[in-house]
A = this chain, B = another copy of it.
Amino acid sequence: MGAFCLAGATLSPGRSSSPRDGLSEEGGVVARGRPMPRPRGATDCYDPVVHDAAPATIRSALPIVPPERTAALIAAIRARLPGLRLLTDPVDRESYRRDETAFLEAGLPGAVALPTTTAEVVELVRLAGAHQVPIVPRGAGTGLSGGAAGIEGGLTIAFTQMKRILEIDPANLTVTVQPGIINADLKAAVAEHGLFYPPDPASYEQCSIGGNLGTNAGGLCCVKYGVTRDAVLGLEVVTADGTVLRLGGKNVKDVAGYALMQLFVGSQGTLGIVTEATLRLRPAPPPKLTMLAFFPSLEAAGAAVSAMTARGLGPATLELMDRATIAAVDDWQQLGLDREAAALLLVESDLPGVAAEAELEAAEAACRAAGASFTLRAADPQEADWLRQGRRLAYRALERLGVAHMEDVGVPRSRIPEMLRAIEAISARHGVPIPTFGHAGDGNLHPTLLFGRDDPTAAERDALVRDELYRAAIALGGTVTGEHGIGLARKDYLEVQRGPEVVAVMRRIKAALDPAGILNPGKMV
């Protein structure tokens, strides 16, 4: 049947759910808490392995800085950087404790610095190193992995005051910015030159480029244009010892030396702090043509995605929302969506001229062949905006229903239906609704756990459900995080996914670049 089902799942607080209550094992792919045996053979091509490590709950491994050390650092910063904005009032600091990750244990920063220049960042890093106070670099605080979570007594460096555009270069299709700039502001500024910066996390109106670089953020248009790392041509990075590295530049191709730039992107401030970035632009594509396709089952929607992939369609957007997400969005935005459908796909084309129409027609044919109950086109750009906005607001719509915890698993594209079935089974087993939406064209899904607002068991059940979600993704050859990052929230699962040998190599690199462990310790590795 495969249709999304919330049977047995309610939002009432504290409901005790017996595992596997009313649920057949069909579709269950999770060996609970146990590593899957690894088949080997001639075509042993990345057969999934769930590595042996089974944390039952998420432990917080954040350090705590002795108060006298923090006080000494604050005094030193004030002496050396008298013009720097430095927040030390507890009320001010409190708003830098967490990012947007649900159920996150985080520390209260001892001080929050808001530098305006790279030179100030260098000085801050050197002083923090000298006083052995760890640093947390922070963008707009919209992260969903706890990467910017505060460290008790630590120094958070927030980049909200370093948000200038330093250069737009239309001849080379590049823009150079400071890290604090908001993604949407960057998009708007380059759009005035007829240019386009593709990466577009759903939070693009709030999130900063620095945060996007830290997590190697994705978004809706990754399926066509790639993720943040694909858009980076140059970086300025301050390392743990206060050295300023200038990496890359404006060259499209450059193989001189190791891929340091690629390594820093996605390292969540644990290897260095980005203070400037040169990003790749494209000429602005024409306005998108937009289509919705509704499906009677998740399988049919998955089959349509596969068919589009196999036909070589390269839509600018290929997004999925399941029944529960459709209902939440429609309840809020009154878009008139088909609430009977098990899933919808949002497909968009930004090809020039008649090619866009041809692409959407091919997509429509693929959806119908896969069993779509019906399809509809946006009549005009405004209607297209509404539909796209509906998808972007999915998480906010779900947040209206309770405490929402958005997850971020990824699987090889062919395994999306299996992952959706696994989510369904996990939801039923734990009595936790898990509406799911995401970037179907990339295999990156956002199952979103919902809990009642006063549910005293929420955090505990959240940990259990996430454990099973992660293991299900890994068992399908997937990842615990497609675009949000390991940060603090998924740290215990890095080794489960990658295996101890791989994580050991990551730790060697961390130790080589930050031997004193001053940069965002307790995160990522």
Contacts and interface: CB of A to CB of B under 8 A. Distances in A.
Contacts of A358: 352-353, 355
A37 interface: no
Interface in A266-280: 266-267, 271, 276, 278
Nearest to A511: B512
A481 B255 contact: yes
Contacts of A216: 255, 259
Interface stretch (A23-31, A72-80, A102-110, A496-504): A496-504
Interface string A501-525: 1110110111111000000000011
Interface string A91-110: 00000000000000000000
Contacts of A226: 230
A306 B223 CA distance: 27
Contacts of A223: 252
A36 interface: no
B215 A255 contact: yes
Nearest to A510: B258
A187 interface: no
Contacts of A255: 215-216, 266, 479, 481-486
A509 B172 contact: no
Interface in A33-75: 42-46, 48-49
Contact of A44 (B166, B170, B284): B166
A284 B414 CA distance: 19
A400 interface: no
A253 B171 contact: no
Contacts of A511: 512
Q: Which of A260, A306, A497 has the most CB of B within 10 A?
A: A260
A375 to B, nearest CB: 21
Interface stretch (A10-18, A121-129, A319-327, A436-444): A436-444
A96 to B, nearest CB: 23
A480 interface: yes
Contacts of A172: 412-414
A46 B278 contact: yes
B260 A262 contact: no
Contact of A262 (B248, B262, B442): B262
A377 interface: no
A292 interface: no
Contact of A222 (B230, B253, B267, B493): B253
Interface residues of A, number: 106
B253 A443 contact: yes
A265 interface: yes
A246 B353 contact: no
A234 interface: yes
Contacts of A479: 251, 253-256
Contact of A283 (B43, B227, B312, B480): B312
Contacts of A206: none
A503 to B, nearest CB: 7
A285 interface: yes
Contact of A505 (B239, B267, B484): B239
A257 B410 CA distance: 14
Interface string A301-323: 00000100111100000000000
B266 A171 contact: no
Contacts of A282: 312
A253 B442 contact: yes
Given A230-B230, A478-B251, A484-B255, A42 B166 contact: yes
Interface in A167-189: 167, 169-174, 176
A510 B498 CA distance: 21
A257 B354 contact: no
A175 to B, nearest CB: 9
- List 3 A-B pairs, minimum CB-CB distance, nearest first: A283-B312, A512-B512, A171-B414
12 contacts: A45-B234, A46-B176, A46-B248, A171-B413, A229-B259, A230-B230, A247-B498, A252-B410, A255-B486, A258-B524, A259-B265, A505-B513
Given A229-B262, A253-B482, A262-B262, 17 more contacts: A43-B166, A46-B249, A173-B309, A173-B413, A246-B502, A251-B411, A251-B477, A251-B478, A252-B442, A252-B444, A258-B509, A258-B524, A259-B259, A282-B312, A355-B355, A508-B512, A512-B512
